[in-house]
Structure 1
Amino acid sequence: MVLQFFNLLIQAYKMKIQHLLLATLALSIYAGCKDDQSDAKIYAVNEKSSKIEWKGSAPDHFHVGSFVVQGHLTVDKGGRVNGGDFKIPIASIQNYDLPDEQKEQLLTHLKSPDFFNIAIHPHAEFHITEAGPYQSDDPDAAEDANYLISGSFTMIGQTHQISFPASITIEGAQLIARASFKLNRLKWGMTSYNDPEEPLYLLPDVEIKLKIMSDTGQDK
């Protein structure tokens, strides 16, 4: 009986030690995750100093303008961009090159079902799925491009994958991102004025220039 009693005490002691070890391990993992999260940062887009510029062309003329961009980029504890989400309100579209009356006509047409169909699709969105190193001599890339950004771009109800080179730097507490690339509007179903035999024919590619200036980075 005495031997059995001591065996029970030893087993209970071993179980207590195991539980303590498990609890300590769990706390260590939690603390490590918490430290990793605190080292990561989120850089919110400063809407006043950021924009997306566009250039749409016909064979004999072109128009240029911009959109407002909203969203954020995430940066890991090593200072590398590893994600981001952006929203583009289509109603923010601007034109730079036309007089006021013609400008209003163009912008109203671009918001119509012929193009962005803003009544049904008021936003375009971009979600970064991968941000890797970029090394190339592509003349169309942003100057000093150091990232290849890949992600899903949603416009007028369709989502497709895109990739483009970007220059992304962190200066003090601010992140600065620039990119230059082309989007083929036909891929998202924007097929109006796509017949070269018609009086008004628009080229499929739209030139995009992206400039992102962030607010101060916040701990994730």
Structure 2
Amino acid sequence: MKINRLMKNAVIIILAALLTCGCNSKSTEHYRVDRSKSVVEWKGYLKNGDFNSGTISVKSDSMIVKDGKVVAGSFSMPLSSMVNKNLPNDALKKQIVHHLQSADFFNMAMYPAVQFTMTGIVSYSGRNPEAVAGAQHLISGDLAILGEKHSISFPAKIILDEEKISVEGKVSIDRTRWSMTYASDESSPDGLYIKPFIDLHLKLFGRKIQD
């Protein structure tokens, strides 16, 4: 009788362990960003109010969802994918992009990508007029530019739909925090001063990685 009772208890423990393992494996899912659809739109401003704008692509194999919630993720923005959208011809577009890729700004030769690593995510119910419509999460993370990491946070709208995920958020960063100080002397004439803040509009689209 005692042996039978011990065997029953052992079977129950083993079944419970197997069920627990099965649930945990199913609750954690990995997503890969679709680089053909995902972009970060950027916009920088001159002293007189003029601006330049464009896009840079995004790549990532690391977006982790557990129990229906994003819990971790990172992505990079290859500087070679940067393009300008607002200037009137290809020559001017290439000129501004090459300058942004140079040592005056992002120094692509030494630092080929900008990297973001998420460090936290909480619910968001704020009323920031600069946030994307429908933002329901506040994402925090480390942004690496020119070999320096600094923390940023921004409201984001995250949608999980079976096999797909989308993340949209807006943030304005002060480039001088990352020692990007070219043309940042506010006392300079209009044409020689570029405002330190860069507006970024993140648009990520991904799919679940199948086992």
**Normalising to structure 1: TM-score of the pair?**
0.84
Instruction: Give the SS at the match of 1:191.
Output: coil
Tell me whether 1:218 sits opposite 2:209 in the alignment: yes
The runs of at least 4 aligned residues of structure 1 exceeding 4 Å deviation read 23-31
2:195 to 203, 207, 211: 203
Q: Which protein is bigger by CA-based radius of gyration?
A: 1
**Structure 2 alignment gaps of length 5 or more:** none
8 Å Cα contact 2:111/2:147 also seen in 1: yes
| Length, aligned pairs only | 202
Q: What corresponds to 2:82 in structure 1?
A: 93
- SS of the aligned residue for 1:203 comes to strand
**1:87 is matched by which residue type in structure 2?**
S
Q: Give per-residue Cα distances to partners, 1:16-71, cap 9 Å, x unaligned.
A: x7xx96x9858855762453122221121111111000000012210000111011
Contact 2:153–2:171 (CA under 8 A) maintained in structure 1: no
State how far apart, in whole Å, the 1-side matches of 2:107 and 2:19 are. 48
Deviation at 1:128, TM superposition (A): 0.8
Q: Does 1:69 align with 2:66?
A: no
Counting strand residues as a fraction of each chain, which structure ranks higher?
A: 2
1:194 is aligned to: 184
Structure 2 length-normalised TM? 0.87
The answer to whether the 8 Å contact 1:176/1:212 transfers is yes
- Stretches of structure 1 that go unaligned for 5 or more consecutive residues are 1-12
- Aligned-residue sequence identity (percent) comes to 31
Amino acid of the structure 2 residue aligned with 1:49: K
Aligned partner of 1:44 in structure 2 is: 32
Instruction: Show the counterpart of 1:169.
Output: 159
CA 1:39–1:219: 2 relative to 1, 3 Å:
farther
1:130 aligns with 2:142: no
Residues 1:32 and 2:4 are matched in the alignment = no
- Please, which moves more after superposition, 132-141 or 193-202? 193-202
What displacement does 1:198 show?
2.1
What is the RMSD of the two structures over their aligned residues, measured on CA atoms? 2.2
- Residues 189, 31 of structure 1: CA spacing in aligned structure 2 closer, same or farther, 3 A cutoff? farther
